[in-house]
Amino acid sequence: MAIVETKSVWVAVRRPGFLFSSWPWRATAYLLSSTPVGLTGLIAILTAFAVGGALTVVLVGVPVLLAALLSGVPMGVVERRRLRMVGHRALRDPHEDPEEPGLGPWCRKRFSEGASWRELAYTLLFVTVLWPLDLLAVVFALTVPVGLMATPYMLAAYGGGESTMALKQWAVTSYPQAWALAALGVLLLPVAAYALTVVAGARAGWARMLLT
C-alpha cells in the first residue's frame, strides 16, 4: 500500500496509513524540539532582565530591558518556522516595515504593534510552561510502551532470568510474563503515536493563533 503524505496533521491522523507515515515522527520531533528552543529563550530572557536590571542605575541597562521586551519578535520567527514540522504552511510575518530606516524607528514600530505583545506573551508562556509540558507529554506517552517492551531485556540483564519489576510496578518472574508485557507495549505504541500527534496538532494550532 502506498503511503500518501498529506499536508495537514489533522487530515493525516484520520488516514489509514497514518502509523506508517512520517507524521508520528514529525509530531514527536515538534514536541521534543520545544526543549532546546524554550531553554535557550529562558536563559536569554533571564540574562537580559538580570543584566538590564543591574545596570539600570547607570541607564545602560534600559536598552537591555527594552530588548528583552522585544524578545518575542525573534522567538516568533523561530516558532513560525517550527510550525512547518506539523504541516502548517509558511506563515506571514505579522509585522509591518517602519516608515524610516534605522534601529530607532524599527523599535518604535515594534512597540506600537499588537503582534509584538502577543509574541511576548507567547514567549513568556513558552519558556516557562509550554516546553516542559511538551517534553512531559513525550516522556509520559512513551515511558509505558517502551518500558513494557524492555521487560524481557530487564529480566535477562538485571533479574538473572528469575525476577524483575516492570515499570517498577509489577513483579515479573518468568519469560512468558515478560514477553506478554512486551507484546502489550507494542500494542500501546500506536496509541502513543496518535496521542502525541493530537497533542502536537493542538499545541501548534494554539501557537499559530498567537503568532499570526
Q: Are 41 and 124 in contact (CB under 8 A)?
A: no
Higher pLDDT, 7 or 154: 154
What's the mean pLDDT when you consider all of the chain?
Answer: 88
Helix, strand, coil % in the chain, rounded to nearest 5: 75, 5, 25
Convert the pLDDT of each residue in 52-91 to its tens digit. 888 877 777 888 888 889 899 999 999 999 999 988 776 7
Among 5-19, 24-38, 109-123, top mean pLDDT goes to 24-38
* Residue 1 pLDDT greater than 70, yes or no: no
End-to-end CA distance of the chain: 38
Short-list 66, 82, 67, CA closest to 31: 82
pLDDT class for 4, splitting at 50, 70, 90? Answer: very low
Return the amino acid letter for 19. Answer: L
Convert the pLDDT of each residue in 83-133 to its tens digit. 999 887 767 888 888 888 888 888 888 888 889 999 999 999 999 999 999
Q: Which pLDDT score, from 0 to 100, does residue 163 have?
A: 84
State the average pLDDT over residues 159-176: 85
* Residue 14 pLDDT greater than 70, yes or no: yes
State the average pLDDT over residues 28-37: 97
Instruction: Measure the CA–CA gap between 150 and 196, rounded to whole angstroms.
Output: 21
Q: Are 126 and 41 in contact (CB under 8 A)?
A: yes
Say what the pTM is: 0.85
Q: Which pLDDT score, from 0 to 100, does residue 7 have?
A: 63
Written as one string, the DSSP assignment of 70-114 is TTHHHHHHHHHHHGGGGTPPPPPP-PPPPSS-SHHHHHHHHHH-H
Short-list 9, 15, 22, 30, CA closest to 138: 30
Q: Which pLDDT score, from 0 to 100, does residue 168 have?
A: 84
Short-list 121, 111, 109, CA closest to 75: 121
